[in-house]
Amino acid sequence: MVQVLIKEYCRLYGAENIQRNLPRFSPMTKYKHAEFADDDTSVGSVQFGEGITSNATHIRYYTTTSMWKKRSMLEKSLMILVITLIFVIMVLAFLLAAADTRIRKGTVLNVEEDLAHKPCLTKSCIEIASTILQAMDTSIDPCDDFYSYACKGWIKSNPIPEGKSNWGTFMKLEQENQLVVKHVLEKQIDNPKSKAEQKAKWYYESCLDINETIEELGAKPMLNLINKIGGWNVSNSNFSIKSWTLQNVLQIIQNKYNIGALFSYIVGEDDRNSSRHIIQIDQSGLTLPTRDNYLNATEHAKILKAYLDYMTKVGLLLNGNPNDTQTQMKAVIEFETKLANITTPSELRRDEEALYHLMSISELQERAGFIDWKLFFENALKIVGKRKISSKENVVVYAPKYLERLSTLIEEYQRTDEGKIALNNYLMWQTIKTFTNFLSKAFRDAYKGLRKVLLGTTEGGEEPQWRYCIADTNNVLGFAIGAIFVREVFQGDSKTQAEAMVNNVRIAFKNNFKNLNWMDVETRVAAEKKADAISDMIGYPEFILNPNLLDERYSLLDIRNDEYFENNIKVSLYALRKNLEKINEPVNKTTWSMSPSTVNAYYTPTKNQMVFPAGILQKPFYDPQYPASLNYGGMGVVLGHELTHGFDDQGREYDKDGNLHQWWNNKTIEKFKERTKCVVHQYGRCRTVFGLNLTLRFLDKFKINNKNINGNQTLGENIADNGGLKAAYHAYLSVTKGEPEPAPLPGLNLNHRQLFFIAFAQVWCSSATNESSSLQIEKDAHSPARVRVLGSLSNLKEFSDEFKCKAGSKMNPRNKCEVW
């Protein structure tokens, strides 16, 4: 309508006048300004609005009375209407022009910001973003359930493989590492770099049974071993109750075959003087994963039945009498149940100072006289050439009450021949079940029923034999496998960058000490010194790339490619010898206890040492192509986790030199323990913490299979998860402080601080069978993956701030727990 009237006005009064005086403004002008902010013509068109009033006045100025009178009523009406419209248009133009000036200024700033934050479209960024997006489920509110938000897509597209009880990013990377080693062992090791690597190849081949000797031999290797030890009543093989002694059988199975039955012992660093080695003795001897499997017979009836079936099948394969094999195996379970009853639960064994009991062998003999301890250890040390030991020799006992009760139990069994037979059956069973994996398929199949009940695996499904054999070879000759792995895949600069990350995380961890009002100044200074003293071993020990040193490591281990069972007998003796050798050696605090290809990390309190193998320094934990947010969210949190272990409820009892003693102020210890109670209650899902009600809605996130987490059992790991996340995040903030925000990843509406938390959560993406999850809750010191993510994030204020989670939401509970 406006355009029609304007055209009519132009027709009557001349196009040149009206076109000259109409403002040059159109709906497209603002877009033009945004795209060409420096274009003078655009600026001029906006500025034209300032002259609208004068031009309009000028138009009115020529409207004289004499001319007006000559017009008809129609013309007068049209003129009034058009002039009014022109006035309205010019006023609107003025207002729009003024508004556009403001919009343009704001738009220019936004555009400049957008140009600076255009998504990274390199091949690497696109691949990274794609991987992250595929794992996520963005329909879920991150403030409601961050684990599902970050991982539900991964879980949907990564079902648990056949034969596995759980599946996650750790296991996926472990399998990729296995492929690397398999390729070398099978394709490229015709000319090995060392004798040790040749032994690794032979051991692998013996496991694969390339010469088909395992099936041919059947039960024969185990029957021969039983006869060497002294016979087994179940298989009617060479057992004589008249010549049998507990001392003799224990010395054979413990000091020759390295079987931890009734008790276990090792030579390790003395907790109170970590510069020396000492014999350490502890409780041991249960076959099933937890003591509760025996003691809660109603709940675990299926497990106990499957265990008895497994034992019976093995007994029959070893020539057991069909009529009484099951009866004799039941007696073994009864004995193990009594052992479980005197065994202290793991959650009650977290105070290292309370566990440590230094005593002489003669004192041990008085407390637990069921064997001659002096004779026992003399027998053990003959392996390394030390034939005499004094009764005054000190040992450390971690379970004196258990050993005292064990003496009473064994005394009861030794009163009768029936009891002695049951004891020997138990000891032989502990040996047999250790070595059945190295026998024919019939023995391995016998375990499947129990495994299914314990872990929920399908009975028919199993992983390829080569994978089992790679894992087994890595357990036996881990440093030889490590040499192969490191040469193939480990990037040298990864070690340098990881070292820098360790230092940054350490600094962030220490900087937080000043915020801990529960810690006194003296303890804080000592804690800073301990943090500085923690050594970090990254990638691999240098000796593995030196063929001579690597060969020396395995010089006493003889391996053949057609004797899998015998190889493992030799491996057991080799491991025992290497451990006993340390009794005469000073402590070397740079040694590794984990093979370089392992996807894991650990902290040792007596060495005050963190170790991060090459196996974990890969995607999704770390990659040189990753932005810092992802590297710190993945590997940085792993580094922080291990660092925090030095200050968890157990690690904090050891000083900077790795010695166990009280080096904290008493009041600080009390305040620390109060804070750890919060963590125990939170993860254990108690209703209140210090009298404050926790929302049940939040607590439900800590429930797995409708079962509670054991807050005491998982305390150390939960402290490390929380402290490690916080230290890594602040390290990341410190590293990127003052730097421009990196380009965002394409398709992800997230800044890099948010991506840090996504990276952290996604390394824990995993699935598990119900049985496996239940077993983990009962046995493992770690919380399930879901709980590890939700627990630590919900306690970190910085996470809630970054994702703007409202106070009281599931991921931002009002009552948080903080130790470090």
Instruction: Spell out the residues 6+ positions from residue 232 whose beta carbon is closer than 8 angstroms to its own.
Output: 226, 239, 318, 424, 425, 428, 432
The length of the chain in residues reads: 820
**Calpha distance 741→751 (Å, rounded):** 8
Q: Given 649, 721, 778, 780, which residue is catalytic?
A: 721
Paired residues of 264 in beta bridges: 282
Give backbone dihedrals phi and psi of 263, rounded to 5 degrees, phi first: -155, 170
Q: What is the DSSP letter of 781?
A: S
Where is 156: in which H helix or E strand?
helix 146-157
Cα atoms found within 13 Å of the Cα of residue 788, Cβ hemisphere only: 25
DSSP 323-367: TTHHHHHHHHHHHHHHHHHHSPPGGG---HHHH-EEEEHHHHHHH
Give, for 224, the enclosing helix (H) or strand (E): helix 220-229
721 and 640 Cβ atoms separated by less than 8 Å: no
- Cis-peptide into 620, omega within 30 deg: yes
Q: Provide the token pair at 332.
A: 């073994």
Question: In 332-354, which positions are buried (b, 16+ CB within 10 angstroms) versus exposed (e)?
Answer: bbebbbbbbebbeebeebbebee
Catalytic residue (choose from 642, 653, 717, 780): 642
Q: How many CA atoms lie within 13 A of 53 on its CB side?
A: 3
Angle at 712 between CA 710 and CA 714, to 5 degrees: 70
Cis ω for the linkage preceding 627 (within 30 of 0): no
Q: Find out whether 655 and 352 touch, Cβ atoms under 8 Å.
A: no
Asked whether the beta carbons of 743 and 117 are under 8 A apart, the reply is yes
Please answer whether residues 263 and 406 qualify as being in contact, where contact means their C-beta atoms are separated by less than 8 angstroms: yes
Distance of CA 692 to the CA centre of its chain: 31
Q: What DSSP element (H or E) covers 276?
A: strand 273-283
Is there a contact between 642 and 610 (Cβ–Cβ < 8 Å)? yes
Query: Residue 347 corresponds to which amino acid?
Result: E
Strand duo 609-613 + 602-604: pairing: antiparallel
* The token pair that represents 147 in the structure block: 């684990």
Would you say 774 and 454 are in contact if contact means Cβ atoms under 8 Å apart? Answer: no
SS3 assignment, position 490: coil
What are 282's strand-pairing partners?
A: 264
Q: How far apart are CA 593 and CA 260, in angstroms?
A: 19
Strand 394-397 to 273-283 pairing? parallel
642 part of the active site = yes
* Residue 277 β-bridge partners: 269
Q: What are the percentages of helix, strand and coil residues in the chain, rounded to 5?
A: 60, 5, 30
Radius of gyration of the chain (CA): 37
Residue 275: CB atoms within 10 Å: 13
Counting Cα atoms < 13 Å in the Cβ hemisphere of 385 gives 4
C-alpha closest to that of 182 among 208, 164, 162: 208
Hey, which residues are catalytic here? Answer: 642, 721
